[in-house]
Amino acid sequence: MATLDWIILLLFFLGLVGVAFYVLKHKKDNTSDYFLSGRSETWLAVGTAIFAANIGSEHLVGLAGAGAESGMAMAHWEMQGWMILVLGWVFVPFYAHSKVFTMPEFLFKRFNKNTSSTLSIITLISYVLTKVSVTAFTGGIFLQTVLGINFWYGAIGLVLLTGIFTVLGGMKGIMLVSVIQTPILIIGALTILVLGLLKVGGGGLIDGWNAVLLHIGENRHLIHANPSDPLYAKFPGIGVIFGAAIIGFWYWCTDQHIVQRALSAKDLNNARKGTILAGFLKILPVFMFLIPGMIAAALKAKGQLMFDTNDQAYGSLVTSLLPMGIKGVVIVGFIAALMTSLAAHFNSSATLFTIDFYKPNHPKATEHRLVWVGRIATITVVFLGLIWIPIMKGLGSVLYEYLQNVQSLIAPAIAAVFLLGVFNRKITPKAGEWGLLIGFLVGMFRLTSMIFRSSIPPESLMGQMLAINWLFFCLFLFFFTMALMVVISFFTPRAGEEQLQGITYFSQSPEQIAETKASWSYWDILTSAVVVAVCVLFYIYFW
């Protein structure tokens, strides 16, 4: 980092202060403004905010590290622009028509209060113990690699700075920063991609790409169908496509911190266009982070780049490839990405606590009080996230491996409940309640068993359960939860027609159907088709 780079970084922090003051000056003291930006955002803000909420330090550190270690294997979870289209085209109309702030609130309307509370608890626990802590932990690693600052100063500073900004700026502040930082992040990351290919190829982009493919060998493929393939044990055959789709559906179509950005749109048209933009942007992370991780590994093999662990692969590229001044701008984009991703989880956690727990128990609370409760909830999540960082650091890379499995154990039950809840009117409130709870508990039982795996005999029933590939278990848990809900629905009373009105696919009113049809154009269909086509071509090339 040269002096010019540090000056650029200082100007960025001053800019954050300016954004916070701007939002405070123009804010409205109500929950809609604080949690959903007043439901007034355009498609540009929605699309960039969805993308920014997704891109965190797990990409800068984890995804690039995965590229350095296993090539294209993790691309399934990144090439999911098509799944964001499912959010915009299929699920946003139901969420918007029901006028909800949160996903648990939607389940309350479709099923019952217990289903809502269960999802809130699952989501809050997962945010504190995984997403907030992982972003802070890996962010500390990235800042240490790039800026040379102590891990603890970087991790704690990132959490505290983002927490303060989220408390002051709310959703509107997050949306503003997202619009500004997204182009900087994309241009900076693609610059690193090009410079990396030029360096590994001795001055030629095509030569560089061929050199990377030569280095990673069979790891260039997305599908590992041969049992003798070293990656088959983790990513078996086409099972990885279906497993990744279940996890992707949970993340993109039902997870609070993503859907909340779509719900901040001023109407259905802007919400859908925002998801289409996010679908285009979601194509980029493979080229922004995964392939640069492969480039870093190829440069290291040639002796042209040095780093101790794969987690440092991307940071090493940033420090070695970028010239003075450009480095400062790119690092600003990356830090802003870390902050917006972390802020998204802070704000979503505050929304869940305030709307799903505090407000029902204090129905007479004023809008001003609810906003302050949201701010206090944000501070609490910041504090809990800080407490968990030392535990993560102590567990090191083992925890990161466990976290990859956590999503595959949380996602199936939630995905099954939302899919059947929206598309099958016969699924009863009790079926949703018990399906979500039992599916989650089965997933947590496997996760707990994994922690004590060394003491479990392989020939035992539990040992055989643990031997099931994590993606196959994800598929099993998904279909098990759906089957369980169908069976329970035969023995429990259905929801009334009034409760289902507008909440399920087959109970929309003529007015709601007309509003949904009027919200899209043929340009929306064409641009969506382009996103799907790019995803298909990517699979064809790397199959």
Q: What is the CATH number of the domain that holds 49?
A: 1.20.1730.10
pLDDT at 413: 94
Write phi, then psi, for 468 (nearest 5 degrees): -65, 130
Strand, coil or helix: 268: helix
Write phi, then psi, for 41 (nearest 5 degrees): -85, 150
CA 103 to chain centre: 15
Write phi, then psi, for 236 (nearest 5 degrees): -80, 115
First to last CA, the chain: 40
Give the span between the Cα atoms of 294 and 283, in whole angstroms. Answer: 17
Tokens 């709307």 correspond to 355
pLDDT at 83: 93
In a domain, 72, yes or no: yes
In a domain, 330, yes or no: yes
In a domain, 210, yes or no: yes
pLDDT at 533: 95
pLDDT at 238: 83
Six-digit token string for 163: 């927490």
pLDDT at 239: 83
Range of the domain at 309: 3-395+509-542
Radius of gyration of the chain (CA): 23
Give the span between the Cα atoms of 29 and 333, in whole angstroms. Answer: 30
In a domain, 277, yes or no: yes
In a domain, 256, yes or no: yes
pLDDT at 33: 56
pLDDT at 111: 93
CA 361 to chain centre: 30
CA–CA distance from 448 to each of 406, 444, 466, 468 (Å)? 10, 6, 11, 15
Per-block mean pLDDT, blocks of 10 residues, the chain (543 long):
79 76 63 56 85 75 80 86 92 85 88 90 79 76 80 82 73 68 80 89 86 86 83 82 90 88 86 93 90 90 82 82 80 77 76 79 79 80 75 51 72 94 92 94 84 75 81 93 96 89 84 86 93 93 88
Plot region of 170 (φ>0 → left; ψ -120 to 50 → alpha; else → beta): left
Give the span between the Cα atoms of 356 and 340, in whole angstroms. Answer: 23
As for how many domains the chain has, the answer is 1
In a domain, 291, yes or no: yes
In a domain, 532, yes or no: yes
pLDDT at 400: 46
Strand partners, 119: none
- CA triplet 407, 408, 409: central angle to 5 degrees? 90
- Got the DSSP string for 144-169? HHHH---HHHHHHHHHHHHHHHHHHH
In a domain, 439, yes or no: no
Give the span between the Cα atoms of 122 and 47, in whole angstroms. Answer: 26
Do the beta carbons of residue 271 and residue 265 sit within 8 Å? yes
A 10 A CB-CB count for 386 gives 17
